[in-house]
Amino acid sequence: MFFKNIALIGKYQSSKLKLQLVNLATHLQKLGVRVYIDSDVTEDYANLPEVNIGRIGSWVGILDLVIVIGGDGTLLAAARGLVNHDVPVIGINQGRLGFMTDIAAHDMLKAIDEVVIHGHYTIEQRSLINAQVIRNNVLVMQAVALNDVVISRGAIGNMIEFNISIDDHFVLSQKSDGVIFATPTGSTAYSLAAGGPILHPEANVFSIVPICPQSMTNRPLVVHDNAKIEFDLVRENATQIHFDGQECFDLEFGDKVLLSKHPKEFKIIHPNDYNYFHTLRTKLDWSKRVS
């Protein structure tokens, strides 16, 4: 057996999830796996007496694998919490095929057997963006994102104005609804909707994508992920910074945001038959003929 201690994380408050978790936990126990379930999902697992119920953070030192059941959003949240602990994650999608949760629920047990029993899998390393908010030379906020860091206008509808520098070289001034700093993983999310490029997951780059810029000459920019990026808010306006669309922080006039590659990479496990371009074709309908 390749993984002996496995934790299960699910989409919170999902009634559909409980049966899937029970089935998966029971199946893993029959294989001889020690199973741990995140108590944030639910604490009602009386029919699984041998399962450990609690907080994932209490077990990260002994876990060999985390299985996420839900969608890409659930996996994004798990990734930010696990990246510093080098625990690989595999994603089971409850609904449609996801970009990261690429195993369909009806194939769950078969796919898990291939991974856990037979070791038939590949590990993909995904980069994350680290962002620091500096206010009056003091660090006031720090977070990481697997998909993207988005800086955008807040409750007031006016555009925001900012400067961007890369490796201490001034690059641009911009007036727009905001800007997206996306990883290759996040290039198929908000960044794609805003006109950004699709980046292969193994590309060592980040994209900088404007959101509805005032000037039509502003275009997406791709930079090496070793670059040190600085965002300076140069006009007083309601502005917010978002991390994977799940965490938010209010910026103030004069704030600086420093962005760089997170020192750790997120490990995601795929079955051997996983193909990134197949996922693109499926999600983006590239296989459909134009009539």
3-state secondary structure (DSSP) of residue 234: coil
Pairing outcome for strands 52-54 and 65-70: unpaired
Q: Are 80 and 53 in contact (CB under 8 A)?
A: no
What is the phi-psi region of residue 23: left when phi exceeds 0, alpha when psi lies from -120 to 50, beta otherwise?
A: alpha
Unique residue bearing structure tokens 């007036």:
175
Catalytic residue among 40, 64, 72, 232: 72
- Please choose, from the candidates 90, 85, 83, 48, the residue with its C-alpha nearest in 3D space to the C-alpha of residue 63: 85
Q: 181 has which bridge partners? A: 149, 208
Pairing outcome for strands 221-224 and 247-251: unpaired
3-state secondary structure (DSSP) of residue 35: strand
Q: Which residues contact 81 (CB under 8 A, 6 or more apart)?
A: 56, 57
Unique residue bearing structure tokens 């070793």:
226
CA 158 to chain centre: 29
Q: Are 79 and 89 in contact (CB under 8 A)?
A: yes
Is residue 72 among the annotated active site residues? yes
DSSP 140-203: EEEEEESSEEEEEE-SS-SPEEEEEEETTEEEEEEEESEEEEE-TGGGGTHHHHTTPPP--TT-
Instruction: List the catalytic residues.
Output: 72
